[in-house]
Copies of this chain bind each other. A is one copy, B any other.
Amino acid sequence: MNWKNDITEKLNSDYSIIQAPMFGVTTPEMVAAATKAGCLGSLPLGDLPVEKCRDVIRTTKQLSPKLFAVNLFANDIPVLTETLKAKYGAVKQFIENLAAEHGLTIVLPRIDEISVTSYHEQLDIILQEGIKVVSFTFGNLDQQSIQMLKDNGITLIGTCTSVEEAKTLEASGIDILCVQGLEAGGHRGSFTLDNVAMIGGMSLLSQVFDAVKVPLVYAGGIYNSRTLLATEALGAKGFQVGSLLLGSAESALKEFEKERLRNVKESEIVLTKSFSGRYARGIKNAFIEAVEQNDVILPYPYQNKLTNEVRKVAKANGNTDFVSIWLGQSNNGYSGDSTFEILKKLIAQTEQADHS
């Protein structure tokens, strides 16, 4: 395994392994541990307000002297029509009632109480903090932002879930593409909310490789040397791991959530829009079943805003029925070791497999 390639060069890392930006799971400690292991750490900013972005970036910088990426949500924000406002009210009521039936007393925010952050607001802080790698998902950045980031010497990593999205990103001058197979845990990186591509990694990665020239990172199902080397055979030069780190010491998941992960059955892993209004892969629970059955799903980010509070309360109460536990289709055992140890083990195993 020759790890050195144009990806390690651009990312200034020893290994072309990327720790996936998992909003709600990835901590500054996880990012620092990944960089310490010679990999690229990725700090997810999600829809954090600007001041929070500054805080997590600074915390991460304090923990690690090395370069790390920040990850942005590049989605458009749907206009708040009267219809959407009315539906918000109905969904709010449904979820409050559902939670009450399950013993969780909560009051969810009214629509005038929520605030939505766009990635445009986060760009200044990224420049100010001297970030050198920006990855993004849920769409493409606008051309002006792309130009501005590139002018500032920033390497851009876009996420694609179809060949069409890959071509769009390449045409926009994005440096590296993260190809997200259907196997991946958490949110699909699709550009749209509906009619999204559901393409398995085997087809997607090889087809994207056929269609574009930019270097490719693969995400979705990598958990050991065999899966890593398979994606290399398909054309990936970089390897992103997320689910492999869910159980790690640095994961923000609570112990009861890690326990649930370790007990998960294959048939419990589903794709659902119920928590956020975007497809995400996670463990089926009472919340998902009730929301899907009653079709009370707002477009992202509104569904997400609405369910934030339920999840927070459920998490504090150790209630697996109302938290979103995301994970991919490869059960990796969800080791409780440190991120450093887990990544070093993957690297060692890959090098050994390669020499056998």
Contact = CB atoms under 8 A, between A and B. Distances in A.
Nearest to A218: B202
B330 A206 contact: yes
A183 interface: yes
Nearest to A227: B206
Contacts of A202: 181, 183, 200-202, 220-222, 227, 230-231, 329-330
A162 B195 CA distance: 25
Interface string A163-174: 110000000000
Contact of A229 (B204, B207, B222, B233): B233
Given A163-B266, A226-B206, A267-B164, A199 B235 contact: no
Number of copies: 2
Interface string A194-219: 01011111111011010000000000
Interface size class of A (residues with CB under 8 A): 35 or more
B207 A331 contact: yes
Given A164-B266, A234-B226, A234-B230, A183 B195 contact: no
A189 interface: no
A195 B331 CA distance: 19
B234 A204 contact: no
Contacts of A197: 266-267
Interface of A: 162-164, 181-183, 195, 197-204, 206-207, 209, 220-224, 226-227, 229-235, 266-267, 271, 328-331
15 contacts: A182-B198, A183-B202, A195-B267, A197-B267, A200-B200, A200-B329, A202-B222, A202-B231, A202-B329, A203-B220, A203-B329, A207-B329, A207-B331, A226-B234, A232-B233
